Amino acid sequence: MMSTLNQIGYTQNFFPFSQSQLEQLKEISTEASYLTTEEQKNIFEVFPIVKSFFDEAIKKSEFNLKLTQYCFFIEKNIHRNWPLLFHRDINLPKYMNISEAEKENFLNNAVMFRLTLDSSNKDTGALKVIPYSHLGNMQSTKEVFIDTQEGEVIFFKPLLLHGSNRMKENHQRRVFQALCIMN
């Protein structure tokens, strides 16, 4: 998994949560959907149990990662449906206290932990990526959709170009995404 993450920029097929934990996280996502945008960008502060679950899950992975305080919630559905253009996650919240001078090095050593609470594919808002784009040399501009199952975690580099299409089907796609650093 680690070599895949470093080489192409993402890896998937990690299912660390029990059914009970997933049900709790789904209940939390219902509450999170009513938060302000700023609160949705600070999930660990609002729901500390999410951080506990994520800490436990990361210990089950082969990665030597440490969670930061940054975790956000995203929901797409028939009423909240937008295309997200390709981008890199370079805008960090002020509460992380990362200076501009430190940011590039920090992001090069960071990993996103993305929990998908609902299955997703190209037509239901799945994450799309351009493999290898985190390395700075665009070997390809071919986009790849990362289909996921309920409860699946995707690890990806924040500098990997990623986005999602507008949903074409009536579906719900809920995601908690946390920023980690490599120990």
Burial of residue 137, with CB atoms counted within 10 A of its CB: 0-12 exposed, 13-18 middle, 19 or more buried: exposed
Q: Which domain holds residue 127?
A: 2-182
Alpha carbon distance 165, 146 (integer Å): 12
Q: State the total domains in the chain.
A: 1
pLDDT of the residue at 45:
97
Q: Looking at the predicted structure, is the pLDDT value of residue 140 above 80?
A: no
Q: Report the mean per-residue pLDDT for the chain.
A: 94
pLDDT of the residue at 15:
97
Q: Looking at the predicted structure, is the pLDDT value of residue 164 above 90?
A: yes
Query: Any idea what the CATH number is for the domain that residue 141 is in?
Result: 2.60.120.620
Q: Looking at the predicted structure, is the pLDDT value of residue 154 above 90?
A: yes
Q: Looking at the predicted structure, is the pLDDT value of residue 1 above 90?
A: no
Confidence of residue 108 (pLDDT cuts 50, 70, 90): very high
Partnered with residue 129 across adjacent β-strands are 144, 162
CA distances from 80 to 41, 76, 116, 166, 170 (A): 17, 5, 17, 10, 11
The structure tokens listed for 72 are 């956000």
List pLDDT tens digits, range 49-74: 999 999 999 999 999 999 999 999 99
Alpha carbon distance 44, 22 (integer Å): 16
Angle between helices 19-32 and 48-60 (to 10 degrees): 140
Alpha carbon distance 27, 97 (integer Å): 30
Poorest-pLDDT segment among 31-35, 95-99, 118-122, 135-139:
135-139
pTM of the model: 0.95
